[in-house]
Structure 1
Amino acid sequence: MSEVNSVSSSVTEDTIKDYYGKKLGCTADLKTSACVFKPGKLPLAVREAIDLVHKEVREKYYGCGPVFPPALEGTSVLDLGSGSGQDCYVLSKLVGPEGHVVGLDMTDEQLAVANKYIDYHTKLFNYATPNISFVKGYLENLQEAGLENDTFDIIVSNCVINLSKDKHTVLQEAYRVLKVGGELYFSDVYADRDLPPSIREHQELWCECVVGALHWKHLYKLAAEIGFSVPRLVTASLFSVDQKEYKDILGDAKFVSVTYRLFKLPPGSGVPSTVVYNGGIDSFEEEFQFDHGITFKKGEECHVKAELASILTNSRYKKYFTISPGERGPCKCAKLDKDPFEYCAQRGSPKGCC
């Protein structure tokens, strides 16, 4: 299997389970900033939902970026590598009582914390019945965990896919369980180069989601092989590994935490189209930032290229847009294979997590 599809390392699943189940007691125990999330300028509804999550769940949270895309109400969401359940409980609040959230994780200790607070959050959110569940399973075999084809509107993952050696199978499984028009919205760590095999053997840096990182360009190759839309960069931030013993191992390699969105679209769908954003997405009433370079303003007539037209037509975003034939108004387009390191440099991004 090629470097694009898999990453060779002797680090085992048991090592990772032990790291997150026994070695780490709380967020402060992490050795690097790769899996540290800072809320930043999240929408108010997201920040309020995070504040509602039980303290024990928050204290055992390990993630590198926000995984709360817009327009979640009433949707079905799967969180790959849900850990203690923080993102799932935030999503539980955002999807509302008519939506449903499933968290999947392989670590018993993390699942125990997540399951412990289902009733607590159900009552806190004033839901008649829980809209959330947690299952034990592996990213590479979602069917074994009982997750069937074409089930979810959205899949999220927060700094977890890097823990798998077989990235191709993980993304292929995500594609399988998404509905047509569904979205994979995830954050993870990427490198500015192909890392040498010797570096990938470092157990602690692997468990911290650093040395399992792909060169960012490889994600585009994987997405194309599997059938996803072209990955769209949403946001990115550089981070540094400052400990001398780690810096000596990593050498000149640089790392960035990136949030991407990919869609499962019908084959051959989409033609250039004119679109108007009508508002209606909570927290994005006047303008909706779709990716790093495209923002739709309410009431503005513009046109989009074929793939984005297909995304807007087939996804949950359809009800928020008027879509018609032709190419009227300015073109809403952005560089799709955007270098995240270049993006950070252009924005003057401070070092830190996204």
Structure 2
Amino acid sequence: MKDIREEVKNYYSKITTEANGEMETKICSCALDGGPKYINEARAMIPDEIISHFYGCGSPIPPALEGMTVLDLGCGTGLDVYTISKLVGENGRVIGVDMNDDQLAIAMKYQDEMAKKFGYKKSNVEFKKGYIEDLKPLGIEDGSVDIVISNCVINLSPYKEEVFKEVWRVLKTGGELYFSDIFADRRFGEDISMNLILRGECLGGAMYIEDFRRLLRKIGWEDFRYIKSNKAAIDNEEIEAMIGNVEFFSHTIKAVKLPELLEDICENYGQVATYRGGILGSENYFDLDDHHRFYKNLPLSVCGNSCAMIENTRLAKYFDIMGDRSEHFGAFSGCSTAPSLDKDGSGDGGCCEGGCCC
């Protein structure tokens, strides 16, 4: 059977080399929607050719990136790579991986120009051609990356378990997977999953959200968090007829690699976290996820998982933590054991396996 990745590669090459460069749906047209001022300022410096041929369903750019090593899976023309290049600073590093020659050619064309724009002596960006399911041949070593991002690409892979295993392998302990992608509200048949157009449009390979949760847990992530969720905009009557009653959502998700510390529900250890400020774009408050907002200098009671995601990661220097895990007080009040999403894709405060509700 023909490798579906080759069909997807050809699909995106065709779009990339066409004059208008437009997809059949609006699924991958929201990569530039909104965003903090500092991200928009970085993107304003990026050439139009990169932007017009970039296809994404979110903005998987976490805060506090200075000095980090960031890996972008399915980097395309490099919009997120170059945005992050500015945010990590000259001492940081960004690696972009993609299987598509046409997209990489656009990305690589601007390496020297972007370094000059950012005032760097040399580029802090590196592009590698390869498959996101197999990063070893690209020289990306175990525990070498602080943050892995991806923008509407993992759904395209027919080998998703291998993708997430590779992410786990290359992340440092305390490192973070932070990605945007399309998810479905149910499993569906081959009439959708094997349709080339639906696959290329990021629908046919979309994961059922509960299967995604189970897969992450199998690999080692006991807890992941929603950052932003929206119903996916398709805006194409023919494609809407093809997918029938299946509903698709764009989620931006974070999952921190802390294998010894994260538990499968929110546990109460009496811990309190206080945000002291200092993160660019979070001058008055910091959002850990879509329902944990830390106002500057205001102590907030948190579960063990949320506390671990702060004090054992790059965020630790911005917080004061009170308490440890020496005494346990049972499950954190109000927590449930599985996430639940409203029809618009927003969370309802479900816990740990899809977002903790401290």
2:272 to 255, 274, 283: 274
Cα 1:278–1:229 shift into 2, 3 Å: farther
What's the counterpart of residue 307 of structure 1?
305
Separation in 1 of the partners of 2:288 and 2:305? 13
**What is the 5 A alignment of 1:309-328?**
309-325=307-323
What's the counterpart of residue 17 of structure 1?
9
Q: Which amino acid aligns with 1:338?
A: P
Q: Which has the higher contact order (CA 8 A, sep 6+)?
A: 1
Comparing 298-307 and 242-251, the one that deviates more: 242-251
CA contact (8 A) 1:236 1:259 kept: yes
Separation in 1 of the partners of 2:333 and 2:55? 35
What's the counterpart of residue 339 of structure 1?
340
Q: Which amino acid aligns with 1:222?
A: L
What's the counterpart of residue 149 of structure 1?
142
Q: Which amino acid aligns with 1:324?
A: M
Query: Displacement, 1:20?
Result: 1.2
Q: Which amino acid aligns with 2:89?
A: G
1:209 to 196, 202, 205: 202
CA contact (8 A) 1:27 1:61 kept: no
What's the counterpart of residue 242 of structure 2?
249
Query: Displacement, 1:229?
Result: 4.0
What's the counterpart of residue 90 of structure 2?
97
Cα 1:18–1:32 shift into 2, 3 Å: same
Query: Displacement, 1:112?
Result: 0.9
Using structure 1 for the length normalisation, give the TM-score.
Answer: 0.89
What's the counterpart of residue 291 of structure 1?
289
Q: Which amino acid aligns with 2:184?
A: A
Total equivalences in the alignment: 336
SS in 1 for 2:315: helix
Q: Which amino acid aligns with 1:218?
A: D
**What is the 5 A alignment of 1:148-187?**
148-187=141-180
Q: Which structure 1 residue ranges, 5 or more long, are not aligned? A: 1-8, 348-354
CA contact (8 A) 1:78 1:155 kept: yes
Percent of aligned positions that are identical: 37
RMSD: 2.3
Cα 1:40–1:248 shift into 2, 3 Å: closer
Query: Displacement, 1:240?
Result: 3.8
Separation in 2 of the partners of 1:71 and 1:253? 36
CA contact (8 A) 1:186 1:260 kept: yes
Separation in 2 of the partners of 1:53 and 1:232? 30
Cα 1:26–1:215 shift into 2, 3 Å: farther
CA contact (8 A) 1:27 1:36 kept: no
Separation in 2 of the partners of 1:344 and 1:236? 5
Separation in 1 of the partners of 2:299 and 2:65? 25
Q: Which structure 2 residue ranges, 5 or more long, are not aligned? A: 349-358
Query: Displacement, 1:175?
Result: 0.7
Cα 1:27–1:297 shift into 2, 3 Å: farther
CA contact (8 A) 1:102 1:133 kept: yes
Separation in 1 of the partners of 2:20 and 2:61? 20
What's the counterpart of residue 351 of structure 1?
none
Query: Displacement, 1:338?
Result: 3.3
CA contact (8 A) 1:305 1:333 kept: no
CA contact (8 A) 1:240 1:254 kept: no
Separation in 2 of the partners of 1:261 and 1:40? 19
Q: Which amino acid aligns with 1:209?
A: C
CA contact (8 A) 2:15 2:21 kept: no
What's the counterpart of residue 111 of structure 1?
104
